[in-house]
Amino acid sequence: MRYILTLCFFLVISGAFYAFQSPSQPKSAEPISTAISSQPHAINELAVAERDLAAQQSIASAVPAQEQLIQSATVKPSVSGQTKIEPEMQLVVKPRAGELQIGAQRKFASDMAMPMMVPPSFVAPGHMASSYLETGYAPQPAPLDRENYRAKNENRFMSVALSPLSTFGLDVDSASYSNVRRQINQGGIPVPSSVRLEEMVNYFDYGFPPAGDGHPISVMSDYSVAPWNPNHRLAMIGIKASDITETSDRGARMTFLLDTSGSMNSSDKLPLLIRSFQTLLSNLKPQDQVAIVTYAGSAGLVLPPTPVTESRVIYQALANLTAGGSTAGGAGIQLAYDVARRQYDTQSTNLVILATDGDFNVGVSGDGELKSMIEKQRESGVFLSVIGMGSGNYQDAKMQILAEAGNGVAHYLDSDSEAQRLFGSELTSTLHIAAKDVKIQVEFNPAAVAQYRLLGYESRVMNAEDFRDDKKDSGEIGAGHSVVALYEIIPTGIGATPDIERRYQTTRTGGTDAMELGYVKVRYKQPDSDKGIEFSHAMTTKAKTMAAATADLQWASAVAELSLVLSKSEHAGSASLQGALNRAKSVSYKVTDAKRAEFISLLERLTPTVVAQD
């Protein structure tokens, strides 16, 4: 009986305790952690908060409520690349007392979700969503590791007995060097597939003989011992374009095609792009003309063809650009070509300049579709050059395809100083073409060469029969450009040679033929013509030591050696960063070259990083 009375007394006390609890008071919860959790969890918690918000709106429509003004935040883009959040006043529904429990649950879910979605760098200890209003800026998402490069397909050694002809199209792109520089300046080691040897070497200027004999380009050669393999040789073919072209004094008709999608909302993208094109405008001639097309979720004409003399209008159009939305790159390219044809001038350079990170995701966006579209458009005589920018989601492979298909050049913009180079000191080379569809064909002498390997130009290699086929597209050379092609040579008598007996092939080793390393043929077209023009040059077999070679070959070999190391080439031999650095420093020049000084600085900064990683 005593146990029954004790149990009854306990039940009465418990009932009295619960009876006095307020119905509107929420139950106590465990302390909420503000640690950053996984993104899916944050999204799920935010979904709960959104569902509760919908319930609140439903209750507010059915039950009379009080109204009050509170301060909220409005997201506004800024030119600096960050997203500015400015406070504003708005009318909201204040819930009745009976709705407080729902409100408390709602706040719980919201407070759980918000800190999970804010990067640590934007949330101070003890701060939650209020830190947005205190800083005035929304958090920027961490960059996605989505940079895309073509798979490396390195040229191999070819037997002269089997393949005496080497044919390829010239390439004056410089995107790879600027992109490699960006990766080094960010404290990393460049992605091997981002290193394209020919673009690294061709970023620099060389003192080749000027064009003459009625051609807009000239050719020379040099030959020395290969620094990374003393049993091999290194042959250089140098091409120099005339500083003055038929169109350089007649003006240019340019259509800027600018990516203003959400992926460009970063300080190293749209803001840099706007400053860069303002630099370009300040260096244009009065007879030049500009139009601006942008694309995000859709494409639009921001500025119709406008003379450069109306610079204030053009500057204002650039200053008004903001980033947001998806990326309808295909629609933008189509509209840009339409506008370019509208302002086409047969006496001028007609050019579309596309500036983007290459992250197309709406409409025509596949590489094959874009290439086909541009190949059809280029028949109009309008060139397409590409300027890539940004990091994290940079689509380098797509940039290469677009530039090659559009008869243009690919650059990478990583800084204001690079913009000054492209659109300031080298503007004529950037805008005006000296020769188009430039092809090289080298016939190697089997008496002097057992095997050869073309360094770089993997995407430009052609069949021998394509050399004189004027329907086959190739690369363009801008006014004043100098271009280098390097071959690594295995001389006859060194190493194994294929055991091949050929009935009809004869080898002449007498007279001057025995002194020739190879015979170089160059074929090109005038910018406004579709007929190929050809001339030739003989290469000598007399190999020098690298120290006795021309300063141009010494420099080109230093840049090539760095490229072999960074790309992790299977043909690198004894190539090293220190070897490249020592040779670069040993080259003397009559005038100071800022680009070469920067190269040495990059090598000095990179060497300890590579050693530490190894």
CATH of the domain at 472: 2.60.40.1230
Distance, C-alpha 378 to centroid of its chain: 22
Last residue of a domain, one of 104, 135, 166: 135
Say whether both 452 and 585 belong to one domain. Answer: yes
- Residues 370, 454, single domain; the answer is no
> Is 363 part of a structural domain of the chain?
yes
Q: Quote the mean pLDDT of the chain.
A: 79
Residue 348 lies in a domain: yes
Q: Are residues 260 and 327 in the same domain?
A: yes
Nearest C-alpha neighbor of 77 from the set 305, 266, 247: 266
Q: Is the pLDDT of residue 29 over 60?
A: no
Cα separation, 362 vs 329, in Å, equals 7
Look-up: residue for tokens 């243009």?
Answer: 408
| Assigned domain for 502 exists | no
Structural domain boundaries enclosing 389: 252-431
> Is 414 part of any domain?
yes
**Of 384, 413, 431, which residue sits at a domain end?**
431
Residue 362's pLDDT is: 54
The residue from 412, 431, 450 where one domain ends is: 431
9 lies in some domain:
no
- Do residue 122 and residue 211 come from a single domain? no
Residue 449 lies in a domain: yes
Q: Which is more confidently placed, 81 or 241?
A: 241
Instruction: Based on the fold, state whether residues 457 and 540 are members of the same structural domain.
Output: yes
- Domain co-membership, 197 together with 294: no
Mean per-residue pLDDT, 540-549: 91
Taking alpha carbons only, the member of 29, 47, 40 closest to residue 116 is 40
Whether pLDDT at 305 is above 80: yes
User: pLDDT tens digits for 156-189?
Assistant: 999 999 999 999 999 889 999 999 999 999 999 9
The one-letter code for the residue type at 266 is S
296: domain CATH number? 3.40.50.410
pLDDT at residue 213 is higher than 50: yes
pLDDT of 193 above 80: yes
Q: How far apart are CA 438 and CA 202, in angstroms?
A: 15
Q: Residues 458, 341: one domain?
A: no
Per-residue pLDDT band for 493 (boundaries 50, 70, 90) equals confident
Say if 11 falls within a structural domain. no
Checking 466-472 for CB contacts under 8 A at 24+ apart, the result is: 466/167, 466/439, 467/167, 467/439, 467/441, 467/521, 467/523, 468/523, 468/532, 468/534, 470/437, 470/525, 470/530, 470/531, 470/532, 472/437, 472/439
Q: Which residues pair with 544 in a beta bridge?
A: 224
Give a yes or no: residue 504 inside a domain: no
187 with 63, same domain: the answer is: no
CA 465: distance to chain centroid? 33
Q: What is the pLDDT of residue 521?
A: 98
Answer yes or no: is pLDDT of 108 > 60.
Answer: no
Same domain, yes or no: 257 and 304: yes
End-to-end CA distance of the chain: 83
* 577 or 109, which is more confident: 577
Better-predicted residue by pLDDT, 503 or 514: 503
Residues 6+ apart with CB under 8 A from 610: 189, 565, 577
Q: Which of the two residues, 8 and 409, has the higher pLDDT score?
A: 409
**Residues 240 and 260 grouped into a single domain:** no
Confidence tier at 453 by pLDDT (50, 70, 90)? very high
Closest to 480 (Cα-Cα) out of 519, 524, 432, 542: 432
Amino acid at 159: S
Residues 427 and 472 in one domain: no
Do 318 and 373 belong to one domain? yes
Q: Report whether 497 contacts 450 (CB < 8 A).
A: yes
Q: How many domains does the chain have?
A: 3
